[in-house]
A and B are shown apart, each in its own frame.
Chain A
Amino acid sequence: MNSSFYIALIPLLPLAGFILLGLFGRSFFKNSSGIIGTLFLLVSAVLAVYVAYDYFSVSATIRPREIAFTYTWLQFSDTLSIDMGVMLDPISVMMLVVVTFVSLMVHIYSLGYMKGEERYPAYYAFLGLFTFSMLGLVMSSNLFQIYIFWELVGVSSFLLIGFYYNKPSAVAAAKKAFIVTRFADLGFLIGILVLSWYSGTLDFNTLIARLTSPESDQLKSAVTSSFLGLSGLTWALLLIFMGGAGKSAMFPLHIWLPDAMEGPTPVSALIHAATMVVAGVYLVARLFPVFAISDPAALEVVAWVGAVSAVIAAVIACTQTDIKRVLAYSTMSQIGFMMFALGVSKYGGEAGLGYTASMFHLFTHAMFKALLFLGAGAVIHYVHSNEMKDMGGLRKYLPITHVTFLVACLAIAGIPPFAGFFSKEEILLAAHENNPAIYWIALITSGLTAFYMFRLYFSIFWNKPAHLHGEKHGEGGFAMMLPLILLGVGAAGAGFIPFGKYVSTDGSPLESHIDIGISALPVALGVAGIVAAMWLYLKPNNRSEKLAASLSGLYKAAYNKFYIDELYLFITKKVLFNLVGRPAAWFDRNVVDGLVNLTGNTTEAVSGGIRKLQSGKVQQYAIYFLGGVIVLAVLFIYVWK
């Protein structure tokens, strides 16, 4: 076991960076904290790649879940303990690589992007904390550990969104993100409790083993118990999925993600595109055997939530004008793809294609979405604005950004041979075989994806000639370009990894196959989307306004994000506030405060009377004394004789 300890170093190194920079960054490493944080992460990333190499290359078949090491943290009773462990299985190893790689890219990129920031050391400290939490999350060996890191991820996300804490919108966004995900995590926690109650364990291995074998007592009791018409197991899984949906910004808990774009752009790339937001997908994938074998109904919910989120987000993304918000909705849409890919999957063999596809898409999406965000960051850095109308014609000024951004757009639009094509193809194939309705939704969504991505691309890099104000500075230093290029290579080439060989539901390798009949349609739709975007946005024209005007109702609804934020405000401010908040406040102010005040007032009145006795007049004291003596004398003489 000790030989595996280096695996634990992968998350512990960023933690060490966080502690070092958090405590001493401001005094000692004012300018070097970026380099220090990056070096810590570099070692982590190298270790992660080594672990992955070690894990995937040793045997020809996929190794099962294994616990690299475990440490009993809190022993409650003989049977119940909370452990801290490191679990290695294909998806956690894959996530290790993704998280450390993207985080490393973001660290390097921030060397240029955040340079000269006042709270530069704090920024790197928070990045280290986030990376630590995320790595801890993916390596968790039990449900409770995953919950701890889940919340840690939430906290570091809160800190990073609110990094510009003197900007009110950033503070509001940070609070919103924290509260919405926290609300979802309430469901997650209850789900954990219910699930562990039925299974009698928190450990993933034991839990999955107990809840997937049909003859186990635990499964029987979980399935036969019922509450409000659903079985205990369904409740548990749905509540856990609620936590996942909150973190992954699934409809209707997605409202925090677009606002989270107030954070620094590299943070958006790391947290709100590539890593944290896929935690929900990861969670469902982690418990996938339980979902797929024991409770297909819950999996059906996962599928539909994913599909609805995918299409809604794609429609909204077509109308937004803030480039980071477009990317945020695009992220939500792509995570919807991953979710419904899990949802349409079954357990074992070829039917488990959706699971493999989902993880594959997670992997490729991390590459191209991080690249898109970092590219957007370079653009924002250059024009000092998030709004599309301030951009245009930038391809001559930002050549490297332009090329890498184009690669990422092609990848997300699913154009072969870029990475997104392969993963999206597998998702569509899985949907096609299992759920035709979702397949059609997914097809429409992938067409829309191509359209809004190229709307973004053409608006930034083509359209009107560039009008730049102020001095022209370069594209950004080497530190900013290197991650773009590396991620660009990833976005272009990651699709060629034979992913099915490594990741599948039951451990038997899966052949990846591209079916021309299936893939022709989405590619054609993708090309159509690109052509439409080109027609509307390549040159300055008023076609897009005309189109928007002709679709006025739909356009307005989508532009206002289908009024979901307003709906939330209505429910919280009008309904909850008036029905729960005000009566509770009244009760608090009158009954609770009243009781406390009553005690206080009584005490005050009594003591006000008593204090008059202490008048400062010596002779009065003497009279009290005499009175006491007389009373005692009377008592001694007549009563206690």
Chain B
Amino acid sequence: MMEPGLYQLLFISIALFFIGVYGFFTRRNLITMLMSVELVLNSVNLNFIAFNKYLWPGKMDGLFFTVFVIAIAAAEAAVAIAIIINLYRSHQSIDVENAEELKY
């Protein structure tokens, strides 16, 4: 089995990133949007890993960053879901289109 090279990893990372961005802009459901954000974060993680492995194999910085990002993402998900629950309680819906009172 062929080991993936740097370019393959970067390609997957970019694909994941834009899939995440696309999902974030097009989905109306907040849970899906949250999932899209996770995709973006993970594409970044993949980037860190790939560069760490192929450019500075002797160093661990990329790995640490990745672990750090995963931890933060977990915390962020907790906060985001708490916000979504509160939004549901006040609007009986988790559609972002229904939550646009904060405007001019």
User: Do these two chains really belong together in a complex?
Assistant: yes
For chain B, residues 19 to 37, give those with C-beta under 8 angstroms from any C-beta of chain A.
21, 24-25
B104 touches A617 (CB 8 A): no
B21 touches A618 (CB 8 A): no
The interface-forming segment of A8-16, A464-472, A570-578, A608-616 is A608-616
CB contact under 8 A between A615 and B96, given known A622-B24, A622-B25, A626-B21: no
**Residue A619, interface by CB 8 Å:** yes
Residues on A with beta carbons closer than 8 Å to the beta carbon of B102: 616
Main secondary structure of the interface of A (DSSP, over half): helix
Q: For A610, give the chain B residue with the smallest CB separation.
A: B104
**Residue A74, interface by CB 8 Å:** no
B24 touches A616 (CB 8 A): no
Bound CA–CA A618/B100 (angstroms): 8
Residues on B with beta carbons closer than 8 Å to the beta carbon of A637: none
CB contact under 8 A between A623 and B96, given known A616-B101, A616-B102, A616-B103: no
B104 touches A623 (CB 8 A): no
B25 touches A615 (CB 8 A): no
For chain B, residues 57 to 104, give those with C-beta under 8 angstroms from any C-beta of chain A.
96-97, 99-104
Bound CA–CA A414/B84 (angstroms): 104
Bound CA–CA A626/B21 (angstroms): 9
B24 touches A615 (CB 8 A): no
Residues on A with beta carbons closer than 8 Å to the beta carbon of B104: 611-612, 614-615
Bound CA–CA A619/B29 (angstroms): 11
Residues on B with beta carbons closer than 8 Å to the beta carbon of A612: 104
Name the contact of A617 in the complex, choosing from B21, B24, B97 (C-beta under 8 A). Answer: B97
Bound CA–CA A385/B76 (angstroms): 91
Q: For A608, give the chain B residue with the smallest CB separation.
A: B104
Main secondary structure of the interface of B (DSSP, over half): loop
Residues on B with beta carbons closer than 8 Å to the beta carbon of A616: 100-103
**Category for how many chain A residues contact B:** 10 to 19
CB contact under 8 A between A619 and B21, given known A614-B103, A614-B104: no
Least Cβ–Cβ distance between B24 and chain A, in angstroms: 6
Q: For A607, give the chain B residue with the smallest CB separation.
A: B104
A618 touches B103 (CB 8 A): no
Residues on B with beta carbons closer than 8 Å to the beta carbon of A622: 24-25
Q: For A615, give the chain B residue with the smallest CB separation.
A: B103
Bound CA–CA A616/B96 (angstroms): 10
- Type the 1/0 row for A108-134, where 1 means its CB is closer than 8 Å to any CB of B: 000000000000000000000000000
Bound CA–CA A614/B24 (angstroms): 19
B103 touches A619 (CB 8 A): no
Which of A612, A615, A616, A623 is most buried by chain B, counting CB atoms within 10 A of its CB? Answer: A616
Residues on B with beta carbons closer than 8 Å to the beta carbon of A618: 96, 99-100
Residues on B with beta carbons closer than 8 Å to the beta carbon of A614: 103-104
Residues on B with beta carbons closer than 8 Å to the beta carbon of A619: 24-25, 96
Least Cβ–Cβ distance between A393 and chain B, in angstroms: 83
Bound CA–CA A610/B33 (angstroms): 27
A617 touches B100 (CB 8 A): yes
Bound CA–CA A623/B26 (angstroms): 11
Q: For A617, give the chain B residue with the smallest CB separation.
A: B100
B96 touches A617 (CB 8 A): yes
Bound CA–CA A612/B103 (angstroms): 9
Q: For B104, give the chain A residue with the smallest CB separation.
A: A611
B103 touches A623 (CB 8 A): no
- Type the 1/0 row for A599-641, where 1 means its CB is closer than 8 Å to any CB of B: 0000000000001101111110011001000000000000000
Least Cβ–Cβ distance between A229 and chain B, in angstroms: 68
Bound CA–CA A493/B96 (angstroms): 102
- Type the 1/0 row for A145-164, where 1 means its CB is closer than 8 Å to any CB of B: 00000000000000000000
Residues on B with beta carbons closer than 8 Å to the beta carbon of A617: 96-97, 100, 103
Which of A611, A617, A623 is most buried by chain B, counting CB atoms within 10 A of its CB? Answer: A617
Bound CA–CA A626/B26 (angstroms): 14
Residues on A with beta carbons closer than 8 Å to the beta carbon of B97: 617
Bound CA–CA A614/B104 (angstroms): 6
- Type the 1/0 row for B4-27, where 1 means its CB is closer than 8 Å to any CB of A: 000000000000000001001100
Q: For B97, give the chain A residue with the smallest CB separation.
A: A617
Residues on A with beta carbons closer than 8 Å to the beta carbon of B21: 626
Bound CA–CA A623/B101 (angstroms): 19
Give me 25 A-to-B residue pairs in the complex whose CB atoms sit less than 8 angstroms apart, sorted by A's number: A611-B104, A612-B104, A614-B103, A614-B104, A615-B100, A615-B104, A616-B100, A616-B101, A616-B102, A616-B103, A617-B96, A617-B97, A617-B100, A617-B103, A618-B96, A618-B99, A618-B100, A619-B24, A619-B25, A619-B96, A622-B24, A622-B25, A623-B25, A626-B21, A626-B25
> Which 3 pairs, one residue from A and one from B, show the smallest C-beta to C-beta distance?
A616-B103, A616-B100, A611-B104
Known: A619-B25, A622-B25, A626-B25. 5 other contacts (CB 8 A): A614-B103, A616-B100, A617-B103, A618-B96, A626-B21
